[in-house]
Structures are given as structure tokens and as C-alpha cells.
Amino acid sequence: MSAENIKLKVLDKAGHTLMTCNSDEIVSLVYTNKYKKGDRIALEIRTPGRYCIIQFEDTMPPALVYVEKREINFTIPFGEQAIVYSPKSFKGDRHVIRARMALPEEINARRNLAFNPYDQHGDTGFYPHASANVETRGEAVFAARNAIDGIFENTAHGEYPYESWGINRDPKAALKLEFGRTVLIDELRLTLRGDYPHDNYWTSAKVSFSDGSSETLSLTDSRLPQCFKFSPRSIEGLVLSDLIQADGPSPFPALTQIEVY
């Protein structure tokens, strides 16, 4: 069986290819222009259902993702969408974009299965992917994807590095995390936003797993990751819901990060 190959492209709003590279197991593309609104990075793979290490922006960390489609796209953020990324990201006229096939030891290692700083709204075709039934005022700084971007700064709220998942004061708010395939998990960590006294916190939350099981988590106002271990289970996704707010004057609890191991 021949080795799986990857190809990277930069395309404009109309879908015209601005730059591409030869396909291989390990690829990089140096794009020497300023990004324009509507530009996107495309990753092509011969066989859907593969694990790849992607780095679509050289100021951001690489991420191990599960690629479900033959082509996935990452739209370059502009305007309000850009303020959840570092001010250094996607700027200038020299961009190094990298991708490679993940190694078996990387795929099988114990790791945070929820980490994906390249997640965006919609059907991205790669996982993990976060979505929610409510995001405060529809603003990028309160989007579900912020809870899996690996950024733990939680002493303020708003633009980078203080983006979070905001629930718009909705007691029925729920965050859905999808893995795109079956994964084995035994630990969950939640980092609550702690911009006190502006913020409140949750005292309890429910995690419903795709296998039909669930766990109720007791939470505190700690700014550190709160860890919950449980019996191993095989799942394809989970939902965080039933968020019980603590007594207090602030109506603004929020989630900075969710980790799944």
C-alpha cells in the first residue's frame, strides 16, 4: 500500500488557487502575500479518515486532528473573527503553512483529545469540533471553539487571549464536542473563566456521553483546571449541559477550556 499524501493550497474567495505545493507525507507551503478577506487554506488527502498534524499559521501550535473528508478548509479570519487569535497571527506577507501524517505513537499517546485551535463554525470536516446551542450575542470572543483552542488565560474576558465560551445567561446552554470517530476517554478537565467579580461560576454541570452514560461534575470558583476522572468509556462525542450557577450578583459564568483525556 502506498503512503498517504497530503497537499496544501491557498485559495481566494472565488476558489482560485493562489499557491500550492507538491503532495507528500510531509508538506510545507510558504505563501508570500498578504491575506485578503475570503482567502482560505485547503488541505487535500487521498483517503478520508486519517490523522494529520496541521499548522495552518506559524504563530500557532501544531494540532493532531482527525480528517474525515478528502478536502478540509480553514478560512483566514478577518475583523471581528480575528480578535480571538494573536495580533501577530495571519499578518504580513510571509506565511509558513505545514501539514504531515501523524505517527502511530502520536495517535495512540495519552493526550488532550479536545485540542484544536483551528476549529471554526460549521461542518469543518476535521475533528475535534466544538459547537453550542447559544454563544453570547453571536460574538467570536464567546464562541464554542474558544473552549478547545488551548489558551487558558481566564482572568479577563473578551479578545485574545481571554476568549471563552459565553452562554448569554441561558440556563439551557449546552456545548457539544465531537471527535469524528470512537475514542477511549477516562478524564475530563474544565477551566472556568474567572474574571471576578465580573464573572460568576457554575457549581454543577452534567456531561452526557454518546454511549448513553453521564457524569455530574461538582465545580468551584477556582481559576485552575478542575479535573474529573471516571471509568474508561468509548465515545464519539459529549455534551456539557445543566450548568448550575452559584449564588451571587454576577450573571456571567463562562468556560475558558474543556480538555478530554
SS (H, E, C) the chain: CCCCCEEEEEECCCCCEEEECCCECEEEEEECCCCCCCCEEEEEECCCCEEEEEECCCCCCCEEEEECCCEEEEECCCHHHHHHCCCCCCCCCCEEEEEEECCHHHHHCCCCCCCCCCCCCCCCCEECEEEECCCHHHCHHHCHHHHHCCCCCCCCCCCCCCCCEECCCCCCCCEEEEEEEEEEEEEEEEEECCCCCCCCCEEEEEEEECCCCEEEEECCCCCCCEEEEEEEEEEEEEEEEEEEECCCCCCCCEEEEEEEC
Answer yes or no: do 20 and 54 share one domain: yes
Give the integer Cα–Cα distance in Å for 98 and 56: 6
Residues 65/128, Cβ–Cβ less than 8 Å? yes
pLDDT tens figures, 52-73: 999 999 999 999 999 999 999 9
For residue 114, being part of any structural domain is answered with no
For residue 10, being part of any structural domain is answered with yes
Answer yes or no: do 156 and 250 share one domain: yes
The pLDDT of residue 9: 98
Answer yes or no: do 181 and 256 share one domain: yes
The pLDDT of residue 121: 97
For residue 130, being part of any structural domain is answered with yes
For residue 76, being part of any structural domain is answered with yes
Answer yes or no: do 168 and 46 share one domain: no
For residue 121, being part of any structural domain is answered with no
Give the integer Cα–Cα distance in Å for 98 and 62: 8
Domain encompassing residue 77: 6-108
- Residue 164, pLDDT > 90, answer yes
Residues 226/192, Cβ–Cβ less than 8 Å? yes
For residue 119, being part of any structural domain is answered with no
Answer yes or no: do 133 and 247 share one domain: yes
Q: Tally the domains of the chain.
A: 2
- Residue 1, pLDDT > 50, answer no
Express as a percent the part of the chain with pLDDT over 70: 99
For 2-6, 173-177, 241-245, 254-258, which range has the lowest pLDDT when averaged over its residues? 2-6
Q: Which of 82, 108, 134 is the last residue of a domain?
A: 108
Cell numbers representing residue 83 in the block: 480578535
Give the integer Cα–Cα distance in Å for 255 and 225: 11
Q: pTM for this one? A: 0.96
Answer yes or no: do 132 and 102 share one domain: no
pLDDT tens figures, 123-163: 999 999 999 999 999 999 999 999 999 999 999 999 999 99
For residue 84, being part of any structural domain is answered with yes
